[in-house]
Amino acid sequence: MKNFNRHTNIRGATRNHEHHSQNSPGFLTLLRSYFIRHLQVFFYSLGQLSRTPISTIMTCMVIGIALALPTGLNLLLKNAQHLSGGWESTAQISLFLKKSITASQAQKLRTDIQKWPEVISVNYISREQALKEFQRLSGFGDALTALSSNPLPSVLIIKPNLKNTNEQSTLGLLNKLQNLKQTDKAQLDMQWIKRLYAIMDIVQRGVLILGLMLALAVLLVVGNTIRLAIQNRRQEIVVIKLIGGTDAFIRRPFLYTGFWYGLFGGIIAWLLVSFALISLSSPFEKLTSMYQNQFKLTNISFTTTFFLLLISILLGLIGSWFAVGRHLREIEPQ
């Protein structure tokens, strides 16, 4: 006791000074310490996670795998679309002309159509050429010579410009050609591409649904992990509430924890997808080379990476926000 008194006397001067100083920090101090506090909590929550590396890594792996699935599938789909874009350019319209059209009329029509913006190129196949080709390809060569007249019409082979157009405009072009007075029949050989598009639409929708479900799974994983973290730190939350900590103050470390989970999960997802693409790329190239196609699997683009990380971080934040919102209210000092 005596010792204690002596002690305080020595420091008495300091304490007197203390009593004149402000009892709450000024605005600028508050603002500065607010940012410093954020920064501290930012790294503090990272430190907390590193204290339990195994469970942290497992949680991040779950998030990573859940996000890698839709990302990878989406990327494969993009590649498939890219590839089918190459096939699409092989689509062509055969414009069978009326028999009454002469060769020079056909040539004139060819140059006219050539000028249309939705057309890349037009090839003219005369009736004679058509017959020759047919004789050569069909194997009916001799039989056809027996015909008194050439039954084949002259044809314009039109390559539509499909770069910046959709199926609708291609059909529009077809109609336009069909309505020409010289036309006997315009035929678009694109049925199989249409089917492919339809399948791709379904797959794309499927990937979207899968992505949404897995995003929900990520939310639940983060939410549950944060819920456990909150329960582990129940005592601390009670104490902080007792000594005047706001809900925002209590929420902050958990939100940053969610942020870190999201970030690391996103990075893991990125790595998984990248590795998967690398391991797929060589068999894929082998396959495409058989089709004389110089096709390379595109890796994750910068934009995709950006959105992957953004979405995973947002999922982490939202998941922890829900968990904190739900469970902080339950913890009240008794």
Q: Which residues bind another protein (CB under 8 A)?
A: 1, 3-4, 7-8, 11, 14-15, 18-19, 23-25, 29-30, 32-34, 36-37, 235-236, 238-247, 249, 332-334
Phi, psi of 102 (to 5 degrees): -85, 170
- Closer to another protein by CB, 167 or 236: give it: 236
Nearest of 231, 253, 250 to residue 240 by alpha carbon:
250
Least distance from another protein to the Cβ atom of residue 64, Å:
29
Least distance from another protein to the Cβ atom of residue 2, Å:
11
Nearest of 213, 159, 163, 151 to residue 190 by alpha carbon:
159
Least distance from another protein to the Cβ atom of residue 20, Å:
11
- Closer to another protein by CB, 32 or 82: give it: 32
Least distance from another protein to the Cβ atom of residue 252, Å:
11
- Closer to another protein by CB, 118 or 236: give it: 236
- Closer to another protein by CB, 37 or 176: give it: 37
Least distance from another protein to the Cβ atom of residue 241, Å:
7
- Closer to another protein by CB, 8 or 175: give it: 8
Q: Are 296 and 285 in contact (CB under 8 A)?
A: yes
Least distance from another protein to the Cβ atom of residue 322, Å:
20
- Closer to another protein by CB, 19 or 181: give it: 19
Q: Are 237 and 331 in contact (CB under 8 A)?
A: yes
